[in-house]
Structure 1
């Protein structure tokens, strides 16, 4: 007999209410070689739930971390000039505000290729990156950045504290939302963070995802979709407090959260302001999330209708940006090579491979002009301005960009 017990929230243990089902999905960054056996490709069920207790939005099914963050993990944070500038500014801000004492120390969770820590290194500040993917860690080490190849959890944190001392700042960008086991992470933070230190992290914001119907922000690696309310509840559960928030424009809309030990700092007015905004929008209400799910289904219908019409008219369509989030769109919408010929991407590790699940060929960005297609589906919509500035000849030749955020339209 099948159990009807609802899955429990990974943070507080309350029941989850599913509100969005994105179907059978592959690992978003597992690009296939052309000769790979498709029957060996890993798939899971991508559905999203809302905690009836602490309000945390999370995936209903967890993908084993070793499958996602492998040695050959292909994403490099330095690949975008916008993100390079963002992380340089972030590092300088932390150096100016938090890393000002005698012999300061910063730990970064998910340091990737060291794009942020390199600025800290150049400033002569002690640092350590923690990342489970050896490949990107080696890129960071080549810059002179200290990296520990490991998953961050309580045991890792205690070892770091014993070897390097307590950290003034623990920082994470697009990493905390990847980690289902937050109980171990927060016990680790308690072990490695100095009494007056702060944990600063930035991740995709549920408020922006709902507002823009950017459902492609939901994939295997994004286990949690944070709000100020759910982060405040999470922090309180582990003896911390949300003391500051900052809205960020990167990656389609993020929030930078600053946590300190409870009572150690006075919360900034921005915290109460964002909590009030979320309450006014009903961001934790089932009706709001159900309406979002309805818009997602409509977006799929509209995108499929547009691509099918263009194919039937004999138009050429390629995609731009073999992003992790494009796996959600391609597989949820059923976009295969019959609708989109190939995807252009600047990442060498992805070129010559096939996208997860949908098996769209990935070609270098130079293929975009050999010759230009009639239409280009902008998978990397969060880098639209940067991409369009690099490809002026496409629109000059009469080409049109297609986007699906916040709605399906031809630019």
Structure 2
């Protein structure tokens, strides 16, 4: 259990949401291991009164969480599209050109690397998940199966030179070696390079009640103010902060050495907005916690109603955030007897803690309703399963407020092309 802040090392951590002891949400259970009890770890969200960083106070070893990682970027078309759009935007904004060098930290299966490669830009991926690094290398996308830190940064500089751009999408909240990584990036970008951090935005997370984004992989939850508290220690500063819709609401921070880039209006506007939203005050987080338990009550009422009516409910998808929701709310196979997935790395296994079996979505007859655990991809899922909804199926969506989507109201949630 940590007693000091991950960012500023201060000792004023205030607990505001205790989700109990839970297994690591991505440690899916093989049938042969069902008789064993998997390790459980505290899952508690705290607020640093000194630097305002929200964080969890227990660290599961990164080797447990990431060496065999089951989240694969390329399985979601909306994420592929997001990376394609990000590549075009960053090339234009940063004036990148053919032959420039981009390093992607936490590069997963190489989905974003592939977008860069198509433009003639030189790439290197770094990812501690050996299984995913192998997939990327097999695609011809050079990926080092290592956890990025200052030592790895020095190796890259020695072998390939400084990077024009370092990208870290959905990575900066995972970092156990937060300070070593930040120092390494500061060295890797030299005096002229840029770091692009894409991270789930705490302000949006509070607004849409995404408490299920709290899990053991997410050690820190960023606002502009809190990430600036970290970057300032390494002569780095944010020069652009733009909202991007991926993962239910994220921010793309563009970061460089202090004084080397003009500070965008977006940065000053975001500072002002964070102050208006009281993101630097403990009270807002305590309100978030009380609303979380209200969601539990409302969701359980819906699931129990479906069960009473003799209707079968399966979980649609088995994302790690779903493990947080199911384990926090005590939703097991009595209410949700199965989950369906398209990710072959999860099919045939069981969701940790609640022990719900994961079936192949393509081979499983649809139930009366799906509990949508991957709610951040709701428009894509509605489009994909429109026929199911029209024929009487239903989606139970837990976030931001538990509700049922069926043929009578689904059009309200479909993004018109």
TM range (shorter): over 0.9
What is the TM-score of this pair, normalised by structure 1? Answer: 0.95
Query: What displacement does 1:162 show?
Result: 0.8
Q: Could you tell me how far apart the structure 1 residues matched to 2:213 and 2:97 are?
A: 38
- The aligned length equals 404
Partner of 2:224: 228
Q: Could you tell me how far apart the structure 2 residues matched to 1:334 and 1:35 are?
A: 24
> Is residue 118–residue 144 contact of structure 1 (8 Å, CA) maintained in 2?
no
Partner of 1:39: 36
Q: Pick closer, same or farther for the CA change 1:145–1:151 going to 2, 3 Å.
A: same
Query: Where do residues 210-289 of structure 1 align in structure 2 (5 Å cutoff)?
Result: 210-289=206-285
Query: Where do residues 5-404 of structure 1 align in structure 2 (5 Å cutoff)?
Result: 7-14=3-10, 15-70=12-67, 72-98=68-94, 100=96, 103-368=99-364, 370=365, 372-404=366-398
Q: Pick closer, same or farther for the CA change 1:256–1:38 going to 2, 3 Å.
A: farther
> Is residue 99–residue 105 contact of structure 1 (8 Å, CA) maintained in 2?
no
Q: Pick closer, same or farther for the CA change 1:52–1:118 going to 2, 3 Å.
A: same
Q: Alignment partner of 1:176: what SS?
A: coil
List gaps (5 residues or longer) in structure 2.
406-417
Q: Pick closer, same or farther for the CA change 1:38–1:179 going to 2, 3 Å.
A: farther
Q: Pick closer, same or farther for the CA change 1:139–1:333 going to 2, 3 Å.
A: same
> Is residue 95–residue 120 contact of structure 1 (8 Å, CA) maintained in 2?
no
What is the TM-score of this pair, normalised by structure 2? Answer: 0.94
Q: Alignment partner of 1:177: what SS?
A: coil
Q: Alignment partner of 1:216: what SS?
A: helix
> Is residue 327–residue 355 contact of structure 1 (8 Å, CA) maintained in 2?
yes
Query: What displacement does 1:313 show?
Result: 2.4
Q: Deviations over 1:57-93 (max 9, x none)?
A: 10111111000002x3111101111110111111222
Q: Alignment partner of 1:267: what SS?
A: coil
Q: Deviations over 1:7-38 (max 9, x none)?
A: 11011111211111111111111111112144
> Is residue 47–residue 55 contact of structure 2 (8 Å, CA) maintained in 1?
yes
> Is residue 229–residue 275 contact of structure 1 (8 Å, CA) maintained in 2?
yes
Q: Alignment partner of 1:349: what SS?
A: coil
Query: What displacement does 1:312 show?
Result: 2.3
Q: Could you tell me how far apart the structure 1 residues matched to 2:390 and 2:98 are?
A: 56
Q: Could you tell me how far apart the structure 2 residues matched to 1:400 and 1:149 are?
A: 42
Q: Alignment partner of 1:167: what SS?
A: coil
Q: Could you tell me how far apart the structure 2 residues matched to 1:212 and 1:383 are?
A: 14
Query: What displacement does 1:6 show?
Result: 7.8
List gaps (5 residues or longer) in structure 1.
none
Please say which of residues 323-332 and 124-133 is displaced more in the overlay. 124-133
